[in-house]
Amino acid sequence: MPFVDQSHRDAPDMMVPGDRCFREYRYIMDEWAKSPRWGTIDHLAERLHPDAYERAFFLAFLVFFAKHAMPYEESKVKENGDIRGANDAD
């Protein structure tokens, strides 16, 4: 959603969800470019979880999810097929 066209990048309309997402994503990427480290991720996540310990669990869960849950899910798709079968409508 943050990858809006140039006209929206030049003049974002805060009533458009993609434009709002673009502004936030650009901020996140700017912060990351300045300091690509775990402390930056923790700082950015303060808006989601102000409590340091809740934030630590949330971030640990995201790492677990990306490294373990998603590969497991991908193996299940290969094993059982995608959720859209031959009989499903588009």
Is residue 86 scored above 80 in pLDDT?
A: no
Is residue 69 scored above 70 in pLDDT?
A: yes
Q: Name the pTM for this structure.
A: 0.79
Measured distance CA(58)–CA(60) in Å, rounded = 5
Helix 38-45, helix 17-34: angle, nearest 10:
150
Give residue 21's pLDDT.
Answer: 96
Burial (0-12, 13-18, 19+ Cβ within 10 Å), 23: middle
Give residue 89's pLDDT.
Answer: 61
Q: Is 86 in a helix, a strand, or coil?
A: coil
Average pLDDT over every residue of 55-61:
98
